[in-house]
Amino acid sequence: MTRIPFFLSFVLTATATASFAHAGTDYRCTVERIYDADGEKSQLIEGQRKLYMGKEFTVDRRSGVMIGALKNSYITEPVMVDRGSKDNSFKAVTTMHRDQGVGAGSTVSTLVVKEYAESPQKPFAFLSDDTVYFGSCVHF
């Protein structure tokens, strides 16, 4: 009977240790500004701002996949360039050639998060073709 409490405490300790080791490795990001290559006169930019300003997305730092309001892996997966450190930004790039998508054209997206920023708020820039989303990320 003493084996069950020991086993239970072992499992709980191992689970908590794994949770703490994983905690803080991914990002939760909020969109704060959006700009388009066509400038303020772009017909699409106001719609983008209504849809995405203040919205959140998360980033898996191992794979580079973004989930939430903004995404970077519809058909193709991102390529990790750098996981980020005290000296470098996190960087992930996704490309989709015309023959890989719905046939409408190619797509390029790049996410850069300033991991080295001393603040808990890490600035980010997400380029999706000719639209750039800016904001900040926190570890979670």
65-89, pLDDT tens digit by residue? Answer: 999 999 998 889 999 999 999 999 9
Pairing between strand 27-36 and 56-59? antiparallel
SS3 44: coil
Question: Could you report the per-residue pLDDT of 29-77, keeping only the tens digit for each?
Answer: 999 999 999 887 788 898 999 999 999 999 999 999 999 999 998 889 9
The answer to whether the pTM exceeds 0.85 is no
Question: Could you report the per-residue pLDDT of 106-117, keeping only the tens digit for each?
Answer: 889 999 999 999
Q: So what's the pLDDT on residue 63?
A: 95
Q: So what's the pLDDT on residue 10?
A: 45
Strand runs labelled E in 77-116: 79-83, 90-96, 107-113
